[in-house]
């Protein structure tokens, strides 16, 4: 089904606005789109009347213009008739915000919508969802803008069964400086599911990385999902919930007792081109790494640190994640030593992790980074920086970033995320180098890049 007009509509009708309650979801959605998005937005309520001086139309058919997308926030029982009315009026698709379908036992209503949609090739997102965030065209989230953290524009597309988790991830990515292309909450996925969204985002020019939160595939759709992922040139990161085995089932074969739902999921995803993040932190880290380093390879890693402890935690993490820490040949250690500040030449430890010590300055980090970027035995660098050390200045990000243009190798940074160090972090992030807010986060980014190459 063609989702173009659902994600980039020119005209929208919001059905179910309230003339008296400003917190009514449809009213919030109408206001948002009317005031802030590019699509021309109309509102519908069978009672008619006026809302903030604008005409409230009694039906979709009454709107004097062809509507691309209908957003429905009305009682579940009224949805099928309204969908029929949309189809009759030549609407190109719908988002059903309303709940009250399969999640409350009304599978019949959901089936009815599905049948209408499939028969008429009429794409439907939802029901029971937040819908679509696709700037500058549409934002169907019924959450007032002032309550949200405004995402920055970028290349990560998010798909989520849960609206709440979706908004959380949008906030977290924004706080990590990761920009979004679009986000879709698919709710009960009566028609459009993860596979359809994946198909769309694979071809979407604005999207470079696809992040998916999912609770489970229905009716063996996991098969189609794996096929799509394996034929995707864009990285796909999956965060799964529902890992807890659901009660004891009557099991009479060994295979059935071993092959529980999550175990199968995880095993099959591991073999696919998708990257399964084990938790939210890893999910955000992977989205961040791929949005800044979409093509870089990572296999043999060099860790450059300003403290031995940080280096040790990073190498433990790398070991656990199965990453290779490059061995530095002794002649190289000798040459690097001569290039460093006199004050650290005899205290720096130049076996990987490269511990520059707390006395190192910007020049030392820049020198060491360049030195290893030039070596064939290093594919990527994890840089662990502590802005409280006196020799470091906020120039370091911009200086290191010069190399990302010269060498096609990955640089991943860790800087503690406190407001005070914002200027250090921006120096990297605004120049295209991802900054993790924990050492583990930096390792997760590296591990994501490595897993992508399998």
Partner 1 sequence: MNPRVKKAITDSKSLGWIPEPLAKDLLQVYGLSTSRFVWAQSIEEALSGAREVRYPLVAKVVSPAIIHKSDVGGVVVGVRDDEHLTEVFRQFSKLPRFDGILLDEMLDGVEVIIGSQNDPQFGTVVLIGIGGTAVEIYRDVAIRMAPLSPKGALNAIHSLRGAALLTGYRGDKAVNLNKLKNLLVQFSRMAHQLREEVSSIDLNPVLCTDRKAVVADARFILREQIA
Which residues are CB-neighbours of 388 under 8 A, at least 6 positions away? none
Does 420 participate in binding partner 1 (rule CB under 8 A)? no
- Decide: 401 and 433 in contact? Cβ < 8 Å: yes
Longest dimension (CA), the chain: 83
Taking CA atoms, 206 is separated from 37, 157, 363, in Å, by: 17, 9, 37
When the beta carbons of 271 and 334 are compared against partner 1, the nearer one is: 271
Q: Segment near partner 1 (CB under 8 A), from 43-51, 259-267, 282-290, 360-368?
A: 259-267
Closest distance to partner 1 from the beta carbon of 249 (Å): 11
One of 264, 347, 418, 423 touching partner 1 (CB under 8 A):
264
Q: Segment near partner 1 (CB under 8 A), from 6-14, 260-268, 333-341, 398-406?
A: 260-268
Does 213 participate in binding partner 1 (rule CB under 8 A)? no
Does 239 participate in binding partner 1 (rule CB under 8 A)? no
Structure tokens that stand for 120 in this block:
């008429």
| Residues 290-329 interacting with partner 1 (rule: CB under 8 A) | none
Closest distance to partner 1 from the beta carbon of 268 (Å): 6
Which residues are CB-neighbours of 36 under 8 A, at least 6 positions away? 139, 145
When the beta carbons of 115 and 258 are compared against partner 1, the nearer one is: 258
Q: Segment near partner 1 (CB under 8 A), from 27-35, 91-99, 266-274, 301-309?
A: 266-274
When the beta carbons of 47 and 255 are compared against partner 1, the nearer one is: 255
Does 10 participate in binding partner 1 (rule CB under 8 A)? no
For residues 170 and 154, give the distance between their C-alpha atoms in angstroms, rounded to a whole number: 12
Does 249 participate in binding partner 1 (rule CB under 8 A)? no
Which residues are CB-neighbours of 371 under 8 A, at least 6 positions away? 332, 335, 336, 339
- Decide: 205 and 193 in contact? Cβ < 8 Å: no
One of 57, 133, 217, 371 touching partner 1 (CB under 8 A):
217
Structure tokens that stand for 67 in this block:
């509507």
Q: Segment near partner 1 (CB under 8 A), from 41-49, 168-176, 221-229, 427-435?
A: 221-229
Closest distance to partner 1 from the beta carbon of 248 (Å): 14
Does 179 participate in binding partner 1 (rule CB under 8 A)? no
Structure tokens that stand for 45 in this block:
């309520």
Beta bridge partners of 11: 40
Does 221 participate in binding partner 1 (rule CB under 8 A)? yes
H helix intervals, 272-408: 280-292, 308-320, 330-339, 342-345, 362-373, 396-406
Q: Which of 71, 81, 57 is nearest to 7 (CA)?
A: 71
One of 201, 265, 414, 428 touching partner 1 (CB under 8 A):
265
Structure tokens that stand for 148 in this block:
């949200």
Residues at the contact surface with partner 1, assessed by CB under 8 A: 216-223, 226, 252-259, 261, 263-265, 267-268, 271
């Amino acid at each position: 089904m063609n989702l173009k007009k659902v994600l980039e509509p020119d005209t929208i009708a919001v059905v179910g606005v309230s003339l008296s309650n400003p917190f009514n979801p449809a009213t919030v959605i109408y206001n948002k789109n009317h005031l802030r998005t590019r699509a021309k937005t109309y509102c519908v309520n069978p009672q008619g009347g006026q809302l903030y001086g604008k005409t409230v139309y009694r039906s979709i058919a009454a709107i004097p213009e062809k509507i691309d997308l209908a957003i429905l926030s009305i009682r579940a029982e009224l949805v099928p008739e309204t969908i029929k009315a949309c189809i009759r009026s030549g609407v190109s698709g719908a988002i059903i915000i309303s709940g009250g379908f399969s999640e409350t036992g009304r599978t019949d209503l959901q089936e009815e919508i599905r049948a209408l949609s499939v028969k008429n090739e009429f794409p439907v997102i939802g029901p029971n969802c937040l819908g679509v965030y696709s700037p500058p065209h549409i934002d169907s989230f019924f959450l007032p803008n002032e309550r949200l953290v405004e995402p920055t524009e970028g290349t990560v597309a998010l798909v989520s069964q849960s609206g709440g988790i979706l908004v959380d991830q949008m906030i977290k990515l924004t706080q990590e400086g990761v920009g979004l292309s679009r986000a879709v909450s698919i709710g009960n996925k009566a028609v459009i599911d993860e596979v359809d969204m994946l198909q769309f985002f694979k071809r979407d020019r604005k999207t470079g990385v696809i992040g998916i939160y999912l609770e489970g595939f229905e009716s063996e759709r996991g098969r189609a999902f794996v096929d799509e992922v394996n034929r995707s040139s864009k990285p796909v990161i999956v965060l799964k919930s529902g890992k807890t085995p659901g009660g004891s089932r009557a099991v009479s074969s060994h295979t059935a007792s071993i092959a529980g739902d999550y175990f199968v999921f995880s095993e099959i995803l591991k073999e696919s081109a998708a990257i399964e993040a084990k938790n939210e932190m890893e999910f955000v880290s992977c989205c961040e790494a791929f949005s800044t380093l979409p093509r870089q390879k990572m296999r043999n890693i060099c860790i450059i640190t300003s403290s031995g402890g940080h280096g040790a935690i990073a190498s433990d993490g790398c070991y656990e994640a199965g990453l290779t820490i490059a061995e530095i040949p002794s002649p190289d250690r000798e040459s690097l030593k001569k290039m460093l500040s006199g004050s650290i030449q005899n205290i720096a430890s130049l076996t990987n992790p490269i511990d520059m010590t707390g006395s190192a300055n910007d020049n030392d980090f820049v020198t060491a980074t360049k030195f290893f970027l030039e070596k064939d035995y290093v594919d990527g660098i994890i840089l662990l920086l502590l802005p409280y050390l006196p020799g470091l200045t906020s120039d370091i990000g911009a200086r290191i970033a010069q190399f990302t243009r010269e060498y096609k190798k990955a640089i991943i940074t860790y800087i503690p995320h406190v407001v005070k160090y914002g200027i250090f972090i921006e120096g990297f992030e605004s120049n295209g180098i991802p900054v993790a807010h924990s050492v583990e986060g930096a390792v997760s980014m590296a591990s994501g890049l490595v897993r992508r190459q399998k």
